[in-house]
Amino acid sequence: MLFLASPSKHSKSNKAHHTGFAKVGQLRMNLKRCRSPAALMNLLNDALQEGIIESSIFSAAMQTCGYRCWWQTLQKVRDVQLQTHVELDSVGTSIGITAITGNLRSEGLFDVLQERKEPALRMAKDLWQEAQAWTNPVVLSGALKLCTQLDCPAGWQWGQQIWQQSEDAGMEKGPITYSTYITMLEKYGEFAEVDRLLDFDEHLSPVLLGALVDMAGRRQNLARADAIWEKMVVEKKVQPIESSYNAYARAYLVSGDPEMAIAKMEEMLERSVGHFTWINAKDHAQALLILYHSMPTDDNKERLQRFLQSSQVIFATGQQTGGARQQMDSAPRTAVEEWQKLCDGAEDLLQRPEGAEKPPLHEVLLTWRASSKSRMAMGPNFPFAGDYLPHHEGVLKPLSATAYLSNGFSQRSGENGKGQGKGRSNGYGKGQHK
């Protein structure tokens, strides 16, 4: 947290009210520890009563509002900052815009709230203008991320405008700023310009790879996801990391090809570039459940059972086992609830006796992504054992060669995902992808 680690720059009005650094630092810490909007506003009001009017105080309050998704409180903090004529420095401006981005969604929600787009963009524009931020790449990156999340014509227009302002001002931009800009271009469908910028090696990174593939996946555009992977990984030799594989697997899952989603995650393990965490374990379990629902072979059943058993370590303990990183402390409530739904749904399906009625496809789409954002959710409600998925010969290793072990996850060397062979489609997708 940059504003906690170093003194803030102050405007003239700030200096007139400056108090001891230790007192200001303690107040910032207290603001970050607030657990309710009322507590935060009380602290802020008490500080003002004592004459502690300092830009980093407002930065701390805004950051907490962003982290906690306190939209109304963020607006109140901003109003107080304006009323007291406190100027935010570049750090505070960056924090403020990041807090606005964090409040495009309410806590526990995945989609951007439409009614917040206009006031969020208006507040960000005001912060940008007040700080004259067109010479600061950190603030620019935060503003471009906001434009990307807004996903609306006004967001695209402002993103273009501030990029041009930075160009006119001669701003020096590094890989992070360019990555943020390229991601925004991808979001708004400017594929030709994205491809042109990807020809410059200095713009490339594994993080950008994951961001671009994720954008394509959200549009269920597997051809675009494959093209980005081919360009950056095969041609430009960018080394994928865990988040890159997470995005690629999600792209296949939402596009109706869970078998390839599973293969991408197994490839990640085999190449020792990532682990299963609460972030990707839910999607992987969902893919395994759908695969078994479509083709209830003994192999698919055991693959699902082994993964559910070994991945419990991610959600149930505070230890690291094998290659599995335990992240329960950072797992949001919604992730834990989704994981439990997956376990319960899989157990119900697996335990139903032969000949008993089995749920159709839509009833086993249990994660938010699969149930509301996937091609499968919008398509036919196939029956159990309907063999409705694309087939890929040899894309999945035999169970004896997989990394799903009862004591956690381990990594193996090797080349998974290469022997796909010819495919056929029986429901979704083309049946064969690069």
330 has a pLDDT exceeding 70: no
Q: Which helix (H) or strand (E) holds 220?
A: none
DSSP string, 133-172: GGG-HHHHHHHHHHHHHH-SHHHHHHHHHHHHHHHHTT--
Determine phi and psi for 392, rounding to 5 degrees.
-135, 115
pLDDT value, residue 335: 82
Is the per-residue pLDDT at 131 higher than 80? yes
pLDDT at residue number 71: 96
For residue 268, give the H/E element and its range.
helix 258-270
Which residue's entry shows tokens 């004592």?
50
Which is more confident, 186 or 424? 186
pLDDT, averaged across the chain: 85
Tell me the pLDDT tens digit for each residue of 310-325: 888 787 643 333 344 3
Ranges 172-186, 309-323, 377-391: which has the least confidence: 309-323
CA nearest to 290, candidates 368, 365, 381: 365
User: Tell me: the pLDDT tens digits for 33-89?
Assistant: 999 999 999 999 999 998 888 899 999 999 999 999 999 999 999 999 999 999 999
**pLDDT attached to residue 76:** 97
What's the start-to-end Cα distance of the chain, in Å? 41
CB 166 within 8 A of CB 158: no
CB 194 within 8 A of CB 182: yes
CA atoms within 13 A on the CB side of 245: 27
Q: pLDDT value at position 399?
A: 72
Can you tell me the distance from the alpha carbon of 150 to that of 147, in angstroms, rounded to the nearest whole number? Answer: 5
Q: What percent of the chain has pLDDT over 90?
A: 72
Provide the pLDDT for residue 228: 98
Its pTM stands at 0.82
Q: CB-based contacts of 345: which residues, under 8 Å, 6+ apart?
A: 289, 363, 364, 366
93-130 tens-digit pLDDT: 999 999 999 999 876 556 788 999 999 999 999 999 99
Segment 155-183 mean pLDDT:
96
Q: pLDDT band for 416, please (50, 70, 90 cuts).
A: very low
Question: What single letter denotes the amino acid at residue 200?
Answer: F
Number of separate helices (H) and strands (E) present in the chain? 22, 4
Q: Is 201 helix (H, G, I), strand (E, B) or coil?
A: helix
Chain position carrying tokens 């403020």: 96
**3-class SS of residue 406:** coil
- Who's near 139: CB < 8 A, 6+ residues apart? 90, 93, 94, 97, 128, 131, 133
Render pLDDT for 5-41 as a digit per residue (tens, 0 to 9): 333 344 434 443 444 677 888 999 999 999 999 999 9
